[in-house]
């Protein structure tokens, strides 16, 4: 694997204090979308998208890393997985409810990642794990008013 001198997105987020500006995160998210799309074309679901799993090279391009929880699907998005895996704050409602899930969980992950980069915490975040699970499965998403109309 090539060296990514920009560190990971989690490190960039910590340095940003108050979130990463919309114009700075936009090209990063676009590249993440392309990476997830490529995985899905190859019938792979990633299942663990979070800032620490996105590396940034010296030119600002991204590399998605840590495929330990990924799954190769045998059929196009019709096959579903029942695994309970991933980082808690980024889990989908389906996964928490132990329902079958497919490629859509990666798109949820992209949204959760974007939210955290802009707001500094994952959507529905709570330090109490039971409350976090409850928030993910039933709470409405709260969008901060400081986000631009386009971003909202």
State the catalytic residues.
Answer: 48
Q: How many helices (H) and strands (E) does the chain have?
A: 5, 4
Give dist(CA 110, CA 38) in Å, integer.
14
Give the number of other Cβ atoms within 10 Å of residue 57's Cβ.
Answer: 14
Question: What burial class does residue 78 get, using C-beta atoms within 10 Å of its C-beta: 0-12 exposed, 13-18 middle, 19+ buried?
Answer: exposed
Give dist(CA 54, CA 50) in Å, integer.
7
Give dist(CA 147, CA 152) in Å, integer.
6
């Amino acid at each position: 694997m090539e060296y990514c001198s920009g560190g990971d997105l989690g490190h960039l987020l910590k340095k940003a204090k108050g979130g990463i500006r919309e114009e700075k995160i936009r090209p990063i998210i676009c590249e993440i979308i392309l990476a997830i799309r490529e995985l899905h074309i190859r019938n792979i679901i990633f299942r663990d998208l979070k800032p620490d799993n996105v590396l940034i090279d010296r030119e600002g391009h991204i590399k998605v890393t840590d495929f330990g929880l990924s799954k190769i699907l045998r059929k196009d998005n019709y096959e579903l997985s029942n695994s309970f895996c991933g980082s808690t704050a980024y889990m989908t409602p389906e996964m928490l409810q132990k329902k079958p899930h497919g490629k859509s969980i990666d798109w949820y992950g992209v949204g959760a990642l974007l939210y955290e980069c802009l707001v500094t915490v994952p959507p529905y975040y709570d330090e109490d794990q039971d409350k976090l699970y409850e928030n993910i499965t039933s709470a409405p998403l709260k969008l901060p008013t400081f986000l631009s109309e386009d971003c909202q």
